[in-house]
């Protein structure tokens, strides 16, 4: 009973950094309950949101992610007591930095999903995928990856083909 999957022109690449105790379990629950959600999301499991370093989010965007989701236990549920409290502050500050540098914050979504909230996981992933799909590919980091210093550039065909491949 798969819902009819329309052929979309742009399939966003979503990376999800999740904590293994709550959100991963929630995603697992969504799976075992046969809930459907877009397959654009690639899930990376971490012991805690406190372990999710802002440089991972930066690296995800650099390697071609169009949207990043960071999700973990609700405050108070953390297996390590204070992991998500620290993460909360860290991500609040990191968001401001990315915003100041010019990254569109709609591509970065944070959420608390507990092990029982399979539905909420599906909802968060679907919302983010549709939002990013409507925004189109994230070109900032992709174009930046092709920029060269003036002295090192030679007009290689590879460079040209890479430019128009974005």
Partner 1 sequence: MTSLIDTTIYSAITEAIRVEAARILSEGEVTAVVGYAAARRKGSAQPIVINTAADAGQLIFTPSCVNNLAVYLTKAKKEISKTGKIGIVVKGCDLKALVGLMGESQLKREDMYLIGVPCIGVLASTVQPATGLTAETIAPKCTECDAHLPQGCDFVPAQTPVVTKLEHKYAAEIARLEALTPAERWAYWKEQFTKCIKCYACRQVCPFCFCEQCLCDRNKPQMVDTTPRPAGNAAWHIVRAMHLAGRCAGCAECERVCPMDIPLNLLNRKMAMELKELYDYEAGFDVLDKGPLTMFTDKDDQSFIK
Partner 2 sequence: MQKYISQHNLDTLLDTLIKRGIRVVAPRMNAGIPLYEPLGSSGEVVSDTLPRRSAKEAFFPVCEDIMSYKKEGQKVTITDIDPGRFPETVLFGVRPCDAAAIPVLDAVFSWDYKDEFFLERRKKTTIIGLACTAADDACFCTAVGLSPSASKGSDLFLTALEGGGYACDTCSEKGEALIANNQALFDGPSTSNPIPFAEPQTDTFDLTKVKAWLNDHFEDPLWDGIATRCVGCGACAFVCPACHCFDIVDEGTEKAGKRRKNWDACGFWKFTHHASGHNPRDLQPKRYRNRIMHKFKYYDDKFGQTLCTGCGRCVRICPVGIDIAAIVEEINKK
From 14-22, 49-57, 119-127, 152-160, give the range in contact with partner 2 by CB under 8 A: 152-160
**According to the binding rule CB under 8 A, does residue 165 interact with partner 1?**
no
Q: Is 4 in the site for partner 2 (CB under 8 A)?
A: no
- Partnered with residue 96 across adjacent β-strands are none
Cβ atoms 107, 17 nearer than 8 A = no
Q: Kindly tell me the sign of the dihedral angle through the C-alpha atoms of 118, 105, 163, 159.
A: negative
Q: Please, what is the minimum distance in Å from the beta carbon of residue 63 to partner 2?
A: 7
Distance CA 117, CA 103 (A): 30
Closest approach, Cβ 90 to partner 2, in A, equals: 27
Here the tokens at position 16 are 């999800």
Interaction site with partner 1 (CB under 8 A): 54-55, 58-59, 62, 75-76, 82, 85-86, 88-104, 109-112, 124, 140-141, 144-145, 147-149, 152
């Amino acid at each position: 009973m798969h819902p009819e999957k329309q052929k979309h022109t742009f399939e966003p690449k979503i990376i999800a950094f999740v904590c293994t105790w709550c959100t991963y379990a929630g995603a697992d629950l969504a799976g075992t309950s046969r809930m459907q959600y877009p397959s654009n999301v690639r899930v990376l499991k971490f012991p805690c949101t406190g372990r999710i370093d802002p440089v991972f989010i930066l690296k995800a965007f650099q390697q071609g992610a169009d949207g990043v989701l960071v999700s973990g236990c609700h405050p108070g549920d953390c297996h390590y007591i204070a992991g998500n409290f620290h993460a909360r502050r860290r991500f609040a500050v990191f968001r401001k930095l990315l915003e100041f540098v010019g990254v569109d914050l709609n591509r970065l979504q944070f959420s608390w999903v507990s092990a029982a909230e399979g539905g909420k996981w599906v909802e968060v992933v679907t919302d983010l995928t549709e939002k990013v799909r409507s925004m189109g590919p994230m070109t900032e980091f992709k174009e930046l990856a092709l920029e060269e210093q003036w002295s090192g550039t030679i007009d290689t065909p590879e460079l040209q083909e890479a430019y128009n491949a974005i």
